[in-house]
Amino acid sequence: MLTYEQVLKSEAIKTYIVRADESLAALGFTDHSFSHVLHVAQMAGYILSTLGYDERTVELSKIAGYLHDIGNLVNRKEHSQSGAVMAWSILNDMGCDPAEIATIVTAIGNHDEGTGVPVNAVAAALILADKADVRRSRVRNRDISTFDIHDRVNYSVQKSSLTINGDHTLVELNLTVDTHFGSVMDYFEVFIERMILCRKAAERLGMQFQLVINEQRLI
């Protein structure tokens, strides 16, 4: 069975992640480098392991998390679909089991809020892990005076955490926002579609989704 550690060691995959992030940097997008994909992989694994899924499903969620943004190498538009096709080819060449490839590819192809649907547990975990990665360090632009709304929203988030309660009925995204740089309304303007998708993902995993900003429960 193909392992997450084997995927991490692939020089080809590393190259695709680096070059995809370079394209997004040229377009002015926030960081999508190793810090993002590794965070998403670990968070997806945390979600499913906390909910009691078997070790192999947890492993597949981490592989999906690591690979989920490689489609940005092709184009930002519909990057989840192009990334899914790329992942199929990569994993097939690495000898991954077809059924496991199907699970991973399905998750990657459904992680974006434009077209994504949490059709299985791995897809749901990937959605939650990806959309919860909002943080100041993802902003590349160092000139605050030229921030667009995406820069302001991400830069305003001083602290973020995604946690599951003890009885596994609620997943909570908790943000500490410095409103000097971005308002709560700015956050909703940019991320409302993502939060709706997070709610659907949580429901797919048998939980409710809760967004908390500056100790105020919003959705």
pLDDT digits (tens, 9 = 90+) for 111-120: 998 899 999 9
Give me the chain's average pLDDT, please.
94
The answer to whether residues 183 and 153 touch, using CB atoms and an 8 Å cutoff, is no
For the whole model, what pTM was predicted? Answer: 0.94
CATH topology of domain 4-217: Hypothetical protein af1432 (1.10.3210)
At residue 106, the pLDDT reads: 98
In this model, does residue 191 exceed pLDDT 80? yes
At residue 135, the pLDDT reads: 87
pLDDT digits (tens, 9 = 90+) for 140-189: 988 888 888 888 888 999 899 999 999 999 999 999 998 888 777 888 78
Written as six digits, the tokens of 127 are 């959605």
Strand order in the sheet with 208-213: 157-164, 170-177, 208-213, 216-217
157-164 and 170-177 beta bridge pairing: antiparallel
